[in-house]
Amino acid sequence: MCGRFSQTFSERDLLEYFHLARCLSLEPRYNIAPSMEVAALREEEGERRLVFLHWGLIPFWARDGKIGYRTLNARSETAHKTASFRAAFRSRRCLIPANGFYEWDKKGGTRQPWFIHRVDGRPLALAGLWERWQDPEGERVIESCTILTVSAAEPVARLHDRMPVILEPEGFDCWLDPAGQEVETLRGMLKPVATGVLSLYPVSPYVNKAGNEGAECIEPVDNEP
């Protein structure tokens, strides 16, 4: 599961880590919630480009956009054959850069948020799918995305049994190639993150409210998992 994350990197971070040909100017966002616009990378005309997508994938065949509330995440084990995701899985894959994501410890009747990030401080490359949807009246077009999930690895497994798929740079070309890859090749990329890549620390319940923003969302507080 991935229900909240942050995008607070600099333009230089994105250009260097993702080898972008160009980059949009981004405002730091510490508390991105479902149905918001997110920055994502996809390949267009032979180069990697940063675009903004609605978080909550709307399949091209949907009658209305409300389905996006149920498609924030896609299970990596079944996305290639699920009606909402299989077309995008074949040729509309993307990366969603993040500094980290949040998960909650719900023990003891409280919801203690934790911020999960890379140990080496580099951005996370969350594997995603994107889709282009036009309403039946032809009045608007929405480009949207979903984040693929996999069984959680440590340390996330202490908090939840699912987590986003995190890809490493050597897999970016294959994942982003819109010309398509063998389904089994793509599925083989969707696996739990290696041991030692991630770390986590507790943050303030301030982040629990989706409308709250700012660096306070990722400031550590005293607690133990």
Active site residues: 2, 103
DSSP 31-96: EE-TTSEEEEEEEETTEEEEEEEEES---TT-SSGGGGGG-SEEETTTTTTSTTTHHHHHH-EEEE
- In a 3-state reduction of DSSP, which class is residue 102? strand
Q: What DSSP character marks residue 222?
A: S
In Å, how far are 129, 148, 225 from 167, measured between CA atoms? 13, 11, 26
DSSP 11: H
